[in-house]
Structure 1
């Protein structure tokens, strides 16, 4: 089936007949696509290669014949200079060069080989970047297998290499000079793009490299001029000490209900992720078995209170950006002689005894005062005493009698002493006569 396209140009009618026997234009649109690849950023004056491959769309069940004679690739690369072009099966490859830096788009589309003016089967566009400086990478490697990027060991040799990006081999005749700065005060100049260096201290460092490339280029008049390209490169390094182990300082025997403090000293570079757990046996910690904590120093204190006696083991795991390690600490917990439940009973007993003693003393004092008052009432109820003899008068007896009678109960030891004093002061009975004794 064929389709005709009429175009009017300068008053002339031009009839173009496009035959798309395999893929008609109205069917081909959207069923195919172009995969574009390039060898990346380049230096001005060097060649960049671009490849375009026609493939069926992922959602299409159509297949393409491998004959390159059925399709034609159309490229637009201005202002880049085309240096080469090659087509193979369903792939077209071109080489372009730029004399000025910048970003330049390159587009391509595919039509049937017999109908250039027909609707494209697929389109593609890519952006090329050119710079006036050298293009390359600074690669740092070490003879260790570390899972963390940009992390390296101190006191271990580092290999630092510059890899020039030159797919077209443009600089194969150039002379290179390398100026290195390792960030710790060490600088050197070499003619080789590979150096070996050993950092003795841990920390963050930046390796800086300046590359100079020179070569001779022939001019149209037959003369030669020296051309030069330069480039500056850098790589960030994090030098750390491997975690060689964990020192554990703490008791190995303790009683239950006592607070235990264990000090951990880490032989390695912080920051660290530390994880610990108590187990009945000393076994390594599995992933997710405990919650890790971040430690910014090389020492950490663990505190724990054991509630049950038995044999325990502290399983400790620590890791930094370089390595990880495990450590164990056995501890035996004995039954405590100081149990809170046992201590509560004697405390309650002592408090009860103290309260009973206070109540007893209060009741005893009130009873003693009552007996003294009853005794005083008894003596005041006795018959009047006979007149006192003029013999052996006792001066100032009134004051003494009054004081002893009123205040005696408070400074005499027993009621019998009080009774004796009352008898002496009041002459209760005449001498040498029988005496009636009252016992209280």
Structure 2
């Protein structure tokens, strides 16, 4: 044995490749290549004949073996299904019993079914796996895995089920389909392969293999826009409701803000809200008149869109109670004061002469008008019910209060 090869255990490794899995009866290829480990600076010897590859593949049947340079390839066939281990090691060419330079190990899955993949593609690429657009053509393809051409003479039949109630049978491994609704669907495919095979007794027989395949698809719809239903003219202090109808597939992330102008929302301008349906209601109460614009942004996992809604806010004709309360209080106090003074003058006997001589003319100095502030507030709050003079009020009091003593009595003279 070459002394330079001794002590190389752990410095080399074997890189194994295989074209498995495979169906029973098909040929499987396994290759092993000797290479220095990543952390090793040791160069491989230039003479490849210094090494020998040893394989263990039982119960798989060996159909061929080739060696080239520092690599070795074998071809095996499995006639029964199962997972079969295959191992390989490398020793010096002149010393089979010496410690191996490198070892390798692989497991080959063998099945009775057909081997292949169901591939779905669409012209519009989405960044999420298995996500596709509705109302856009899908290409669904079955790719048979048969690297040894074991089934090159077979005739295939494909039975498709698209998960939305549509089924079809074709002889082609590629179909085109268009989903018109959103949702998650499972495409199922059953493949049947048939071919003739010569038996040991020289007779021909029909052989058949089948396989079942499926792929899960999530069909989504881009946001084509936002329909805004709501008033465009409203008064202050009036609650307003705006309904947003999203033309796209949920779930959605919605963000809105009031602006003086209709401009797109920037990132971080408003707090996003998660919406699980295609409709959403906005409520708002305006306190100040003016022109406003609802700036709305919505997005789902594949698209986003903006929409705007202008609205004019006018001052309310009915003032809030908080503004009317002080005026109403002042009127009540004033009326109570007038009533008190009237009743007081009518019940005091010693002042009857003064009452008889009372001048009820509006311009009399004895009956000054209410202060201008009180009169002004009464005119605003009471409107047509405001009495201009005390004499008018006293006349109404006499009509509505028959139990009150008359204001005009004959003057009695008392002797002290």
Comparing 224-233 with 102-111, which one deviates more in the overlay?
102-111
Q: Is residue 74 from structure 1 mapped to residue 54 from structure 2 by the alignment? A: yes
Structure 1 residue aligned with 2:2, among 8, 19, 39? 19
Secondary structure at the residue paired with 1:21?
helix
Evaluate the alpha carbon distance shift between residue 416 and residue 124 of structure 1 in structure 2; reply closer, same or farther with a 3 A threshold: same
Q: Is residue 207 from structure 1 mapped to residue 217 from structure 2 by the alignment? A: no
The whole-number CA distance in structure 2 between the counterparts of 1:109 and 1:144 is: 48
Comparing 84-93 with 36-45, which one deviates more in the overlay?
84-93
Q: Is residue 222 from structure 1 mapped to residue 202 from structure 2 by the alignment? A: yes
Q: Is residue 165 from structure 1 mapped to residue 141 from structure 2 by the alignment? A: no
Q: How far off its partner does 1:135 sit?
A: 0.9
Q: How far off its partner does 1:171 sit?
A: 0.7
Structure 1 residue aligned with 2:405, among 409, 412, 423? 412
The whole-number CA distance in structure 1 between the counterparts of 2:261 and 2:322 is: 34
Q: How far off its partner does 1:136 sit?
A: 1.0
Comparing 245-254 with 76-85, which one deviates more in the overlay?
245-254
Q: Is residue 347 from structure 1 mapped to residue 325 from structure 2 by the alignment? A: yes
Q: Is residue 111 from structure 1 mapped to residue 91 from structure 2 by the alignment? A: yes
> For the Cα contact (< 8 Å) 1:372–1:415, is it kept in 2?
no
Secondary structure at the residue paired with 1:244?
coil
The whole-number CA distance in structure 2 between the counterparts of 1:116 and 1:124 is: 16
Q: How far off its partner does 1:106 sit?
A: 1.8
Q: How far off its partner does 1:100 sit?
A: 0.9
Evaluate the alpha carbon distance shift between residue 288 and residue 93 of structure 1 in structure 2; reply closer, same or farther with a 3 A threshold: farther
Q: Residues 357-389 of structure 1, C-alpha deviation per residue, up to 9 Å, x if partnerless? A: 5577568767876x45999xxxxxxxxxxxxxx
> For the Cα contact (< 8 Å) 1:151–1:321, is it kept in 2?
no
Q: Residues 33-68 of structure 1, C-alpha deviation per residue, up to 9 Å, x if partnerless? A: 333322232111112222333333333333334543
Q: Is residue 181 from structure 1 mapped to residue 161 from structure 2 by the alignment? A: yes
- Which protein shows a greater Rg? 1
The whole-number CA distance in structure 2 between the counterparts of 1:184 and 1:345 is: 63
The whole-number CA distance in structure 2 between the counterparts of 1:185 and 1:178 is: 17
The whole-number CA distance in structure 2 between the counterparts of 1:55 and 1:308 is: 79
Match of 1:58 in 2: 38
Match of 2:414 in 1: 438
Comparing 101-110 with 320-329, which one deviates more in the overlay?
320-329
TM-score after normalising by structure 1: 0.70
> For the Cα contact (< 8 Å) 1:44–1:131, is it kept in 2?
yes
TM-score after normalising by structure 2: 0.74
The whole-number CA distance in structure 2 between the counterparts of 1:281 and 1:53 is: 69
The whole-number CA distance in structure 1 between the counterparts of 2:49 and 2:415 is: 150
> For the Cα contact (< 8 Å) 1:19–1:115, is it kept in 2?
no
Comparing 231-240 with 282-291, which one deviates more in the overlay?
282-291
Q: Kindly tell me the number of residue pairs found equivalent between the two proteins.
A: 367
Evaluate the alpha carbon distance shift between residue 361 and residue 63 of structure 1 in structure 2; reply closer, same or farther with a 3 A threshold: farther
Secondary structure at the residue paired with 1:95?
strand
The whole-number CA distance in structure 2 between the counterparts of 1:64 and 1:310 is: 84
Comparing 287-296 with 130-139, which one deviates more in the overlay?
287-296
Secondary structure at the residue paired with 1:144?
coil
Q: How far off its partner does 1:247 sit?
A: 1.3
Q: How far off its partner does 1:74 sit?
A: 2.6
Match of 1:100 in 2: 80
The whole-number CA distance in structure 1 between the counterparts of 2:145 and 2:201 is: 31
> For the Cα contact (< 8 Å) 2:257–2:296, is it kept in 1?
yes
> For the Cα contact (< 8 Å) 1:174–1:214, is it kept in 2?
yes
Q: How far off its partner does 1:164 sit?
A: 0.6
Match of 1:84 in 2: 64
Q: Is residue 146 from structure 1 mapped to residue 126 from structure 2 by the alignment? A: yes
> For the Cα contact (< 8 Å) 1:20–1:112, is it kept in 2?
no
After TM superposition, the structure 1 = structure 2 runs for residues 7-406 of structure 1, keeping only pairs within 5 Å, are: 18-21=1-4, 24-25=6-7, 28-65=8-45, 67-254=47-234, 258-286=238-266, 290-306=270-286, 312-320=292-300, 323-332=303-312, 344=322, 347-352=325-330, 354-355=332-333, 358=336, 371=348
The whole-number CA distance in structure 1 between the counterparts of 2:53 and 2:25 is: 25
The whole-number CA distance in structure 2 between the counterparts of 1:277 and 1:308 is: 16
The whole-number CA distance in structure 2 between the counterparts of 1:160 and 1:439 is: 126
> For the Cα contact (< 8 Å) 1:248–1:264, is it kept in 2?
yes
> For the Cα contact (< 8 Å) 2:345–2:351, is it kept in 1?
no
The whole-number CA distance in structure 1 between the counterparts of 2:270 and 2:48 is: 63
